[in-house]
């Protein structure tokens, strides 16, 4: 049914299984910080700056009702707050609280550490090639900034 361990997968299988692998690491790291994977994603997206609900829904791929529930749960935990959008008084942005900022810095660093271990069997040159190829796939498909590159993360993360 499946290929032996030493066999090469096709691009579809390799990408799908890689996505499952990263999702599993993300979910496990989230649990270790008392978060759901979706809460961890929300906090990581907000690391860069506060965002409007519409923009957040687009980035996270959530319907308005699902996003509202997610933001409500994070607000109740003191991780995010709603604030007026300075450009449009009718609009609301979501921002990290101090507690949310501190938690996401730790969560982000640990998630990066764990994901960094996944290709540990590759040489430095292979890792660079993998990063280059995946970067092209991400850029070509206009994937939103759901997770900052280590070089883009705020100081301390």
Q: Residue 27: which of 84, 139, 107 has the closest Cα?
A: 107
Q: What class does CATH assign to 11-117?
A: mainly alpha
Give residue 147's pLDDT band: very low, low, confident or very high (50, 70, 90). Answer: confident
* Extents of the domains making up the chain: 11-117
Please tell me the pTM assigned to this model.
0.83
Give residue 67's pLDDT band: very low, low, confident or very high (50, 70, 90). Answer: very high
Q: How far apart are CA 27 and CA 21, in angstroms?
A: 10
Residue pair 53/71 in contact by the 8 Å Cβ criterion: yes
pLDDT at 6: 65
Helix, strand or coil, per DSSP, at residue 83: strand
Only one residue has tokens 């829904």, namely 57
| CB burial of residue 37 (10 Å; 0-12, 13-18, 19+) | middle
Helix, strand or coil, per DSSP, at residue 110: helix
pLDDT at 27: 95
pLDDT at 1: 46
Residue 2 has pLDDT above 90, yes or no: no
């Amino acid at each position: 049914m499946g290929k032996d361990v030493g066999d090469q997968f096709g691009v579809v299988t390799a990408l799908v299984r890689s996505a499952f692998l990263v999702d599993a690491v993300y979910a496990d790291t989230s649990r270790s910080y008392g978060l759901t994977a979706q809460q961890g994603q929300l906090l990581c997206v907000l690391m860069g700056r506060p965002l409007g609900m519409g923009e957040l829904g687009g980035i996270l791929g959530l319907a308005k009702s699902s996003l509202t529930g997610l933001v409500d749960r994070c607000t109740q935990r003191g991780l995010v707050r709603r604030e007026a959008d300075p450009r449009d008084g009718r609009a609301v942005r979501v921002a990290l609280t101090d507690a949310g900022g501190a938690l996401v810095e730790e969560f982000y660093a640990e998630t990066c550490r764990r994901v960094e271990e996944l290709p540990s069997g590759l040489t430095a040159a292979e890792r660079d090639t993998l990063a280059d190829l995946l970067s092209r796939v991400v850029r070509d498909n206009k994937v939103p900034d759901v997770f900052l590159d280590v070089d883009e993360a705020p100081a301390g993360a």
